[in-house]
Structure 1
């Protein structure tokens, strides 16, 4: 049970397969072209669609939803598939809004997925802050997820969620050994709020890899929207300046193609 199959579908959306478990992160399946409001006068156009349609997904055991209140992490099509998942795991506030088979977790709380013949997956919520200090009241609650199961060789599979680099994220290294990290990047900014960033940049990713020391770091949440300020080419230039020990850990997944990794 050391192998994990990951398909980056686009934006923050990835299909994660562990044994017979099928997990989906932050489902976004709307076509491009629409403008979405994110509140407080911020908005953005979606410029690229998903690499696969929601209708082509296998049955989903759990949706790992870092937050439910922004359209670039949960759009209309993604919201429509939530009832078909066996469980949705998200923030406490998000669970209250969504209802149904939703489990809400506070940072460092955990829940388990269990089924006969399958490895037990423990899912721990990790801290995230979707903006600068004191912004939580405006940007809302966000969490990341650390997935552990018996047979992992390098450590947990961690999904950062939409977050800036701050002490709460750094503390993940103190509490969990990370094998594979899916990092939400893009350096999100909006014209109306000027230089303020709402997600990590490539430079932040390099610093975080220095702290976490993951076996593999995978950039996601960097393409397909106007408010993503750092696309792949920009980030590659920044990564090229990082020490070799960090560069060797960063792997780009081809969008829409299933990649097998050793967890």
Structure 2
């Protein structure tokens, strides 16, 4: 199976469908308008609701939750959805907080999704650092996910997770062939911490894509929240100036529209 269907629902939330599996990343289904506190004086407001309501989503076989402790990756309605999902895969600390049989992974650890009549999917956690050096005790643990199954033509489906560009995330280039990358962008900043960034900018993404070289790269986590500081128009300008080997790999998805992609 070299093709996968992806629906970008908004923010970091995407539905990935392949081989009868329905996998959901970072569920955020609250309506617009609510404010969320992230700790240590940081907060944000949700500016846009999901393109698909949680009630219209249909059954979910697994939730791939990069982290459970920030409302822009798991909000109230998203949290209510978790018990109905077949499996929740997240950080080790997040699994302990969530309970209910959630599977916790440290970076480069793996688990396998299995079901009769479907291909097995190996889920490997990839490194993230959700802020500047030494910020982990404050911002908490985050992981990305690499999904591998038999028949992929170009390589894994990789969800970067909320991360800045740092040596840990660069390890992906040396350890995984990537067919499809979902990149969490937005250049997150907060007034209380000034110029410090908590997710990648478009310039960071260009550098990372030059190393990882996926067949296709899809931006997510760039709209719908006040603390996302680099909107699509600015990201597109940076991408337009990137080398052809990078910019030709980028694919913007219409939010809410299922799109078939190669992996």
Superposition deviation, residue 101 in structure 1: 2.5
Give the superposition deviation at 1:245.
1.3
TM-score with structure 1 setting the length: 0.99
Distance 1:244 1:104 in 2: 38
Task: Give the number of equivalent residue pairs.
Answer: 263
Distance in structure 2 (CA, Å) of the matches to 1:62 and 1:50: 19
What does 1:64-79 align with in structure 2 at a 5 Å threshold?
64-79=64-79
CA shift, 1:123, in A, is 0.2
Q: 1:178 is matched with which residue? A: 178
1:29 Cα shift? Answer: 0.2
TM alignment of 1:12-51, pairs within 5 A: 12-51=12-51
In structure 1, the residue matched to 2:200 is: 200
CA distance in 1, matches of 2:22, 2:225: 26
Return the offset for 1:36: 0.4
The Cα of 1:74 is off from its aligned counterpart by 0.2
Q: Which residue of 1 aligns with 2:242?
A: 242
Matched, 1:228 2:228: yes
Aligned to 2:4: 4
How far apart are the structure 1 equivalents of 2:247 and 2:262? 18
Q: How far has the Cα of 1:27 moved from its partner?
A: 0.1
Q: Could you tell me which residue of structure 1 aligns to residue 96 of structure 2?
A: 96
Which secondary structure does the structure 1 equivalent of 2:147 belong to? strand
- Superposed CA RMSD in Å reads 0.5
What is the rounded CA distance, in whole Å, between the counterparts of 2:103 and 2:140 in structure 1? 17
**1:67 Cα shift?**
0.1
Deviation per residue, 1:54-110 (Å, 9 max, x gap): 001121000000000000000000000000001100000000000002000000000
* Equivalent position of 2:53 in the other structure: 53
Aligned 8 A contact 1:28 1:73 in 2 = yes
Other structure's SS at 2:79 match: helix
Aligned-partner Cα distance in 1 for 2:33–2:97: 27
Q: Distance in 1 between matches of 2:123 and 2:224?
A: 28
Shift, 1:224, TM fit: 0.4
Contact 2:127 2:142 in 1 (8 A): yes
Displacement of 1:125: 0.3
* Secondary structure in structure 1 of the residue aligned to 2:256: coil
Structure 2 unaligned runs (5+)?
none
Report the counterpart of residue 119 of structure 1 in structure 2.
Answer: 119
SS of residue paired to 2:204: helix
Runs of 4+ in 1 over 4 A off after TM superposition: none
Could you tell me how far apart the structure 2 residues matched to 1:144 and 1:247 are? 22
Query: Is the counterpart of residue 161 in structure 1 residue 161 in structure 2?
Result: yes
> What's the CA shift string for 1:150-185, capped at 9, x where partnerless?
000000000000000000000011111111000000
SS in 2 for 1:100: coil
- CA deviation string 1:104-141 (max 9, x = no partner): 00000000011121111000000000001100000000
Whether 2:133 is the aligned partner of 1:140: answer no
Secondary structure (helix, strand or coil) at the match of 1:171 reads helix
Check the 8 A contact 1:64/1:88 in 2, yes or no.
Answer: yes
